[in-house]
Amino acid sequence: MALQLGEIAPDFTVESTEGTLSFHQWLGDSWAVLFSHPADYTPVCTTELGAFAKRKGEFEQRGVKLVGVSVDPLDSHSGWAGDIEKTQGAALNYPLLADEDRVVADLYGMIHPKADPKVTVRTVFIIDADKKVRLTLTYPPSTGRNVDEILRVIDSLQLTDKHKVATPVDWQNGEDVIIVPSLSNDEAKERFPEGWDEKTPYLRVVRQPR
């Protein structure tokens, strides 16, 4: 069964391109983006791994660690890393798990038999500092993931964890947000003394808190 939002991300210990990795210990008090690949030497995933490597600094600024996972062995990962650097212009700079025994794949529900019983699906997990799953996105093999969207979701999650707000459709960091309905107007006045634009009683738009 697939992991649900709010569940503790399962712990595991497997080999990676950066040595043995015990997930919860490695995570510490950071957030993480764990993203799976069906196999090494696949074209779409090659572009993704390169893109994440190029933008690792943007994740680090948000206190987020990157970790990839594939069911292929470690020596295969090493060869693939060379192709990633050669074709994408960025060397692998975060761990890539060698999940040969499908420990991680099974724990995280990455095997979808109706899609393909032999390989993992391409899923993104955003995991917070409390080790809770905050988002899952599952992609078909033909569609590359969007790094900008993953960063946007992290910005939204981290902002809304700190303030009683939600982010509207297509929101980007710095744009107006929505006061959550559970906050009364009196409570909202304390949090947002500059006021807000009340579109309806349940849709109160306010400047993004800093």
Residue 117 has pLDDT above 60, yes or no: no
Same fold? 13-145, 163-206:
no
Phi and psi of 142, rounded to 5°?
-85, -10
Task: Report the alpha-carbon distance of residue 162 to residue 204 in Å, rounded.
Answer: 18
Is the CATH number of domain 163-206 3.30.420.40? Answer: no
The verdict on whether 45 is a catalytic residue reads: yes
Please provide the size of the chain in residues: 210
Confidence grade of residue 18 (pLDDT, cut at 50, 70, 90): very high
14, 27, 33, 45: which one is catalytic?
Answer: 45
Give the per-residue pLDDT at 122: 78
Confidence grade of residue 1 (pLDDT, cut at 50, 70, 90): low
Residue 119 has pLDDT above 80, yes or no: no
H/E element holding 154? helix 147-162
Percent of the chain scored above 70 by pLDDT?
A: 95
The domains of the chain are located at 13-145, 163-206
Give the per-residue pLDDT at 118: 47
Assigned CATH for 13-145: 3.40.30.10
Confidence grade of residue 116 (pLDDT, cut at 50, 70, 90): low
Average pLDDT over residues 184-193: 95
- Kindly report the pTM of this predicted structure: 0.92
Give the per-residue pLDDT at 40: 78
Residues 6+ apart with CB under 8 A from 182: 164
